Amino acid sequence: MGLYLVESSLKGITSSKEEVDQKVSELQGKLSETNASLIELQVSKDFARSFFIVEGENRTVATDGLKAAGIPVQLVKEVRLVGKELDDVKKNNDVVNYLVEWNIPENITMDQYLARKKKNSVHYQEVPEVSFSRTYVCEDMTKCLCFYDAPDEAAVKRAREAVDTPIDSITEIIPQNK
C-alpha cells in the first residue's frame, strides 16, 4: 500500500466544517469499496485548497474514490510520511493549523533531504510557540508539505528560518481537532 497526496478544491462543494465532515464520510465509503482509506484531509480556511492523504494500492485507486464522491482531482503524487508514524497520524489527535509547501530543488535526493531534516529539526526548539507535526515528501522529490500548529503565520516563518528551510507557500488550514 502506498500513500498518495491528492490536491483539490472544495470551494463550491463545501462551505463549512460540517459539510466537509459529511463529504469525508461519503469519501470514506467510496474509498473502502476499493480497499483504500483516507488518512487525513486538510482544508484551507477559504475551502479553495484541500490536501487529501489516501492510502491505497496505486494512484488510480487513490483518486477514483474522490472522483466518485464528486471531488475534482488537481494533482496526485505518491508521498512518504516523515516526522510521525502512520499509526499516530491515523489516530487524528494532532492539531495543525498551517501547511507549508516547499518545492524541492532538482538536485536533492531523498537521502539528502532526510539527512538535512534530521540535522536541522533540533532547531525547532528555538521557536517554542510552534509545534512541527509531520511532513509528506513527494517520492519524485518535487515538493513537500509540512504541517504545524502555530499562533500565526509569522511564527511559522520564524520556525522555517530556524531550520533553514525555504517556504514556497503557507496555507492556513481549518484545525480538525480544536
Could you tell me if residue 41 is inside a domain? Answer: yes
Greatest Cα pair distance in the chain: 46
Could you tell me if residue 149 is inside a domain? Answer: yes
- Residue 12, pLDDT score: 87
CATH code, domain with 48: 3.30.70.3090
- Residue 98, pLDDT score: 96
Average pLDDT, the chain: 90
Give CA–CA dist 94/176, Å, rounded: 9
Average pLDDT over residues 149-178: 89
Could you tell me if residue 84 is inside a domain? Answer: no
Radius of gyration for the alpha carbons in the chain, expressed in angstroms and rounded:
16
Quick one: 133 and 65 in the same domain? no
- Residue 131, pLDDT score: 92
**Pairing state of beta strands 37-43 and 75-82?**
unpaired
Which residue, of 50, 79, 108, is where some domain finishes? 79
Q: Range of 70's domain? A: 2-79
Quick one: 108 and 61 in the same domain? no
Quick one: 72 and 44 in the same domain? yes
The count of structural domains within the chain is 2
Could you tell me if residue 93 is inside a domain? Answer: no
Q: What is the pLDDT of residues 100-116, one digit of tens each?
A: 999 999 899 999 999 98
Quick one: 104 and 150 in the same domain? yes
Quick one: 64 and 125 in the same domain? no
Could you tell me if residue 177 is inside a domain? Answer: no
